[in-house]
Amino acid sequence: ALSAGSACLIPRFREIQDEELSRFCSRVVKLLQKDPGAEAVDALRRLFLIVSATKYGRKLEKPCVDLLQATICSPACPEQLQLLCAAILREMAPSEGLNLSCDHIQKSRTLSLAASVLLAQGDRQDEVRSVGQRALHLLEARQTEGPGPRALLPVVSKVVSLAPGTLPEAQADMLHRRLVDWLRYASVQQGVAQPSRGFFSAPRTRQPGPVTEVDGAVATDFFTVLSTGQHFTEDQRLNVHAFSMLRTWLLFSGPASRDASDADDRSELEGSTLSVLSATSATASHLLPPQQQLRAGAFEYCQRLLEQSTRRALRKGDSDLQKACLVEAVLLLDVLCRQEPSFLYRALSCLKALLGRLCGDPAQARTLLPIARYLLRHGEAAAVDSEAVCQHLFTSVLADLFPNPMLAFEFAQFCRDSLHLFNPDQGTFKLSFPNLFKLLAWHSPALTSEFVVLLPALVDASTAVEMLHTLLDLPCLTAALGLQLSRSSPTASERPLWDVSLRPTSCLEGFRDPEFQGLFQYLLRSKAGGATKRLAPLHHLLQPMASCARVVQCAQAVPTLLQVFFAAVTQVASGDLSAQLALVLLERSNSLFQVPQYEAQVHRVMSSQLLALCRLRPALVVELARDLLEFVGTVSGIRSRESMFTAVVWAIGEYLAVSYDRRCTVEQVNRFFEALEALLFEVTQSRRSATLPPYPPQVVTVLMTTLTKLASRSQDLIPRVSLLLSKLRALPQGPAMGSVPRDEDTDAIRMRATELTNLLKMPSVAQFVFTPGMEASTPRFHRDANTALPLALHTVSRLVDREAGLLPA
Amino acid sequence: MVHAFLIYTLRAPHAEDTGFCRVLYSCVFGAEKSPDDPRPHGAERDRLLRKEQILAVARQAESMCRLQQQASGHSSVDLPPQSSDEPASLHEAPHGAFRLAAGDPFQEPRTVVWLGVLSLGFALVLDAHENLLLAEGTLRLLARFLFDHLRLLAPSANLLLRADRVEAILARFLPHGQLLFLNDQFVQGLEKELSAAWPL
């Protein structure tokens, strides 16, 4: 209801025609010129909506645009009008008709308004540089010590982030120096209230008193963003703005500075004596160049923030700010240490102390992430162990705090950003995948794309089989995590963790049942151990939760992740591992948590990946002959996993040959033949039955083709196959089921049977066609007129046709 | 820094796909560099691209919000309107973050932080390695001020024709996309200044 009322205005405003708009522009011009009051405001609001409601450009008359520009630049106009004019021009950007220039602007507020328009033009005419120049010029001029600089700092910050490293050094130095002033030397007395314009306007001369810390104590050192009071002075406000832009400024104000993210080499301490001695403080450093003065000042500010964050804030807003300040301080220390390695020792000792304080506090978990990152990047230089904090993060923090969506996202980011910094010997990262997957299981829509990047880095030959099982059981993990949460927070009835209508009480009971303890513990483990457990009993127990929205969302992510997993694991898989993975696919194809549509999707991936494994290592089929035989053993398995069945039968046909593995024996070929022949018989029987739905024709044709292939390799079998095929060619039309005529399916089967029969008439050709060997994958095989398969097939079919024409039918 | 701020509509989690996500307001702080496009109407194409980028973000944020609501078992975003109270603690409101890869849809990789309050969504599009704790806090602050100063809970609330107020709030709390470290007292001071300059 709230937004419906709003939103339906949009189509109306989009429909305003150009003519009407043109008249409206004239009206706006008149109002602005004559009577810049409430009517003008209303007109401008409408004009803003007209321009912003559509993604297509709207043409405003030139006089109107000129007047909008003029309004921004005349300081006398009320803020309301100026904001609207700037917003309209910004919404139209980039626009070619703009002739707004900042070169002669004298007032900070005006420049700020003009900048919002100019910086939106996409830097087609070097606007970014000229805005930056003008802003720094005004800052340098120190014309008004009033609110002037405060309006300009965000502009400068935006300019350097849009165009890093383009400021002239002299101007940058000027701002370095002023920033140090604002950061370190802001007043420590509270400001005075603005004199009220009331009747009693005699100002009372009352000392405002010193600023306080967030816990109410009197401030112990210089003013920072965590210093508070009833009213603030202008330089205190500047302190806030200066700190807010500090990291951006440090990163991007230097000449052609290194990009923040790519300077990721572990920093080295060059000459320990030198570093310790050269770490000077801002107050005693007037001889230092301005940039280093600023860095020193920034360092002290960070130290102060770290100290201030130990206090217990009286207000929630301040407590939240403390956490944000902690993160910012750590990020700043990281930048400073990269720019000046001399800060390392002092920074590390601060952070170690901080770490000790924060590790035990779940509310501070998000703050640990930048600290961990800092230690991974810089810790080695001072032999500080980043391992301990990583352990803590990957075990306790993940296990306890996974439901928090922001923590989950930041954790995934932390992993992505630190992939190249994790110590491969320690294995903390790789072995923590069971815990990491909890993030994915709980927040799959937001984190699937992150895990597509992380998964390849987690894949390891020693844990691959365990990981495959874990991925297949991911939706089950989601359900189990839901149970775990509901059990640990009994007030879950206020905030349901899943759709309350489902009432999975049996699942909750099962969670507490000792019989299932071991399995739940395994599912919810923190570390990979190499061992695997079959969770089929849990699939059954948790069935009522299989249609919970969160479980379904997770299930939808699994097929993609399986593809990523296999793409990564085939890079490191030995023959042994490929065989193990293939076996997992076979085994798990009928042992999946029954989430709606999950099985069908996963089967599709499994069958294509099984074929891919066989293609890479054809010898697999012979190695796993016994398991494959068992898999195709019964007809009952076909319906529930048709794609897998088809893939297995196809693989048998393709790769069960001596040319792929010398261990392939005639007995093996015969054994498979007999099993498949029996299946084909049963399957075709069902086609004739009026009660059972027939098997899809693909099942029949793949069986036929594979049998023919096997026969071409063990030619004693040819007569049996020919008999089978002739029966299939003589299939009557099956009974029509519903509105779908059976003709096409039966036709397809008959046609395939005929082709195969024809090929078998020339056994040596058949062998050549069906078992071309490894060379078939080389292009030359198909270009060389002597070996080309298509040519051979073509010749055969012509010969056979001719022969068929000669013989009686 | 913040690249863009947007307000968009949220549909109830289990509503059928009637209607679509609309962007009610957006503000881009400093545009990405325009490509060198010698063809005519390059500026218009550029603008079209930007509007579509913002819409793409809104759609994705809306979808994330719906999925999160569905996953946590909430059947409706629309709680009964509480006319004069603040919308029930913004800390409980659905929120989250997701990443946008380079080129999809912005040139640079970006992060989006989003917040859903009743049937309005708020989002910040941030540079890739921004302080998310600060961004999250700022987004809640903006949402609170927008609800208060635009009286968005009132029955005839309309945000589309009051862009000036939105701009005024942004100018103070997110000037040119700069996230500010504002303690509670500071915020109160800014709020007083806002109320004085822009009486309700």
- Quick: pLDDT tens for A598-622: 999 999 999 999 999 999 999 999 9
Let me know how long chain B is: 200
Question: Quick one: residue A198, left, alpha or beta (phi over 0 = left, psi -120 to 50 = alpha)?
Answer: beta
**pLDDT beyond 70 at A574:** yes
**d(C-alpha A389, C-alpha A394), whole Å:** 9
Q: Please check whether residues A544 and A625 belong to one and the same domain.
A: no
Tokens of A424: 């491969």
Q: Please check whether residues A669 and A601 belong to one and the same domain.
A: no
> Of the residues A596, A616, A636, which one is the last residue of a structural domain?
A616
A405 near A450, Cβ under 8 Å?
A: no
Residue among B24, B159, B164 minimizing CB distance to A83: B164
**pLDDT beyond 80 at A803:** no
Q: Please check whether residues A682 and A657 belong to one and the same domain.
A: yes
The CA angle A749-A752-A755, to the nearest 5 degrees, is 150
Strand partners, B25: B7
Q: What is the pLDDT of residue A531?
A: 84
Asked if the structure places residue A455 within a domain, the reply is yes
**Interface touch A122/B99, C-beta < 8 Å:** no
Q: What is the pLDDT of residue A689?
A: 67
Strand partners, B2: B126
Which chain A positions have a beta carbon within 8 Å of B182's beta carbon?
225, 240, 321
Nearest chain B residue to A249, by CA: B1
> How many CB atoms lie under 10 A from the CB of residue B134?
23
Out of A206-215, A222-231, A233-242, which region has the weakest mean confidence (pLDDT)?
Answer: A206-215
Q: Please check whether residues A665 and A795 belong to one and the same domain.
A: yes
Question: Quick one: residue A419, left, alpha or beta (phi over 0 = left, psi -120 to 50 = alpha)?
Answer: alpha
Using CA atoms, how far residue A474 sits from A415, A513, A556, A593, in Å, is 20, 22, 10, 9
B181, B187, B190, B200: best to mutate for the A interface, most A CBs within 10 A: B181
Which chain B positions have a beta carbon within 8 Å of A10's beta carbon?
22, 24, 160
**3-class state of residue A799 by DSSP:** helix
Tokens of A277: 């001695």
DSSP state of A210: B
**d(C-alpha A586, C-alpha A580), whole Å:** 10
Nearest chain A residue to B163, by CA: A45
**d(C-alpha A447, C-alpha A402), whole Å:** 12
**3-class state of residue A617 by DSSP:** coil
Q: Please check whether residues A437 and A515 belong to one and the same domain.
A: yes
Q: What is the overall mean pLDDT for chain A? A: 85
**Interface touch A497/B72, C-beta < 8 Å:** yes
Query: If you search the block for the tokens 């696919």, which residue do you land on?
Result: A585
**d(C-alpha A807, C-alpha A784), whole Å:** 33
**Interface touch A241/B160, C-beta < 8 Å:** no
**pLDDT beyond 90 at A515:** no
**d(C-alpha A451, C-alpha A469), whole Å:** 17
Q: Please check whether residues A580 and A639 belong to one and the same domain.
A: no
Asked if the structure places residue A374 within a domain, the reply is no
Q: Please check whether residues A540 and A681 belong to one and the same domain.
A: no
A538 near A507, Cβ under 8 Å?
A: no
DSSP state of B93: S
Cα dihedral B37→B39→B42→B48 (10° resolution): -100
**Interface touch A122/B1, C-beta < 8 Å:** no
Residue among B25, B162, B189 minimizing CB distance to A45: B162
DSSP state of A149: H
**Interface touch A158/B1, C-beta < 8 Å:** yes
Q: Please check whether residues A508 and A579 belong to one and the same domain.
A: yes
Q: Please check whether residues A755 and A608 belong to one and the same domain.
A: no
Q: Please check whether residues A543 and A463 belong to one and the same domain.
A: yes
**Interface touch B175/A151, C-beta < 8 Å:** yes
Closest CA to A672 of A648, A695, A696: A648
Asked if the structure places residue A654 within a domain, the reply is yes
Asked if the structure places residue A16 within a domain, the reply is no
Asked if the structure places residue A753 within a domain, the reply is yes
Residues 6+ apart with CB under 8 A from B169: B142, B145, B146, B149, B194
| pLDDT tens track for A38-57 | 899 999 999 999 999 998 98
The one-letter amino acid code at B109 reads P
Q: Is A452 on the interface with B (CB under 8 A)?
A: no
Q: pLDDT band at residue A637, thresholds of 50, 70 and 90?
A: confident
Residues 768-797 of A with CB under 8 A from B: none
> Of the residues A588, A616, A644, which one is the last residue of a structural domain?
A616
Q: pLDDT band at residue B105, thresholds of 50, 70 and 90?
A: very high
Mean pLDDT throughout A147-152? 87
B119 near A1, Cβ under 8 Å?
A: yes
Burial class (CB in 10 A: 0-12, 13-18, 19+), A134: buried
Helix or strand run (H / E) with residue B96:
strand B95-100
Out of A148-162, A516-530, A745-759, which region has the weakest mean confidence (pLDDT)?
Answer: A745-759
Residue among A57, A406, A497 minimizing CB distance to B44: A57
Q: pLDDT band at residue A381, thresholds of 50, 70 and 90?
A: low
Tokens of B38: 């010698």
| Distance of alpha carbon A399 from the chain centroid | 20
Which chain B positions have a beta carbon within 8 Å of A6's beta carbon?
9, 24, 157-160
| A472 vs A732, higher pLDDT | A472
Straight-line distance from the first to the last Cα atom of chain A, in angstroms, rounded to the nearest whole number: 77
Mean pLDDT throughout A690-696? 73
Nearest chain A residue to B21, by CA: A7
Strand partners, A789: none
Mean pLDDT throughout A565-587? 94
Nearest chain B residue to A554, by CA: B71
Let me know how long chain A is: 809
Q: Please check whether residues A585 and A642 belong to one and the same domain.
A: no
Closest CA to A485 of A456, A459, A464, A507: A507
Domain count, chain A: 2
Closest CA to A445 of A554, A321, A574, A329: A554
Using CA atoms, how far residue A507 sits from A26, A475, A479, A480, A511, in Å, is 70, 15, 9, 9, 6
**d(C-alpha A732, C-alpha A82), whole Å:** 84
**Interface touch B22/A230, C-beta < 8 Å:** no
Helices (H) and strands (E) in chain B, counts: 4, 5
Closest CA to A334 of A270, A384, A264: A264
Straight-line distance from the first to the last Cα atom of chain B, in angstroms, rounded to the nearest whole number: 30
DSSP state of B150: T
A683 near A635, Cβ under 8 Å?
A: yes
Out of A116-130, A552-566, A745-759, B108-122, which region has the weakest mean confidence (pLDDT)?
Answer: A745-759
Q: What is the pLDDT of residue A662?
A: 85
A458 near A429, Cβ under 8 Å?
A: yes
| B76 vs B37, higher pLDDT | B37
Q: What is the pLDDT of residue A320?
A: 94
Q: What is the overall mean pLDDT for chain B? A: 87
Q: Please check whether residues A632 and A712 belong to one and the same domain.
A: yes
Asked if the structure places residue A754 within a domain, the reply is yes
Residue among A6, A153, A331 minimizing CB distance to B159: A6
**pLDDT beyond 70 at A286:** no
A613 phi/psi in degrees, rounded to 5:
-60, -45
Asked if the structure places residue A424 within a domain, the reply is no
> Of the residues A587, A616, A645, which one is the last residue of a structural domain?
A616
**pLDDT beyond 60 at A728:** yes
Closest CA to A451 of A528, A609, A561: A561
Q: pLDDT band at residue A561, thresholds of 50, 70 and 90?
A: very high
Q: pLDDT band at residue A266, thresholds of 50, 70 and 90?
A: very low
Cis peptide before B105 (omega within 30 of 0): yes
Strand partners, A530: none
B97 near B139, Cβ under 8 Å?
A: no
Tokens of A570: 């085939």
DSSP state of A493: G
Q: Is A11 on the interface with B (CB under 8 A)?
A: no
The CA angle B82-B87-B93, to the nearest 5 degrees, is 135
Cα dihedral B65→B71→B73→B75 (10° resolution): 40
SS3 per-residue string spanning A662-705: CCCCHHHHHHHHHHHHHHHHHHHHHHHCCCCCCCCHHHHHHHHH
**d(C-alpha A24, C-alpha A325), whole Å:** 49
Out of A185-189, A201-205, A478-482, A662-666, which region has the weakest mean confidence (pLDDT)?
Answer: A201-205
**3-class state of residue A192 by DSSP:** coil
Give B138→chain A minimum CA distance, Å.
10
> How many CB atoms lie under 10 A from the CB of residue A92?
22
Q: What is the pLDDT of residue A323?
A: 96
| B14 vs A535, higher pLDDT | A535
Out of A35-49, A222-236, A490-504, which region has the weakest mean confidence (pLDDT)?
Answer: A490-504
**d(C-alpha B19, C-alpha A231), whole Å:** 48
Q: pLDDT band at residue A304, thresholds of 50, 70 and 90?
A: very high
**pLDDT beyond 50 at A220:** yes
**3-class state of residue B124 by DSSP:** strand
**Interface touch B46/A80, C-beta < 8 Å:** no
B108 phi/psi in degrees, rounded to 5:
-95, 155
Q: What is the pLDDT of residue A296?
A: 95
> What is the residue range of A750's domain?
621-686+695-731+745-800
Asked if the structure places residue A406 within a domain, the reply is no
Nearest chain B residue to A155, by CA: B176
Helix or strand run (H / E) with residue A450:
helix A444-458
**3-class state of residue A212 by DSSP:** strand
**d(C-alpha B197, C-alpha A194), whole Å:** 14
**d(C-alpha A192, C-alpha A37), whole Å:** 33
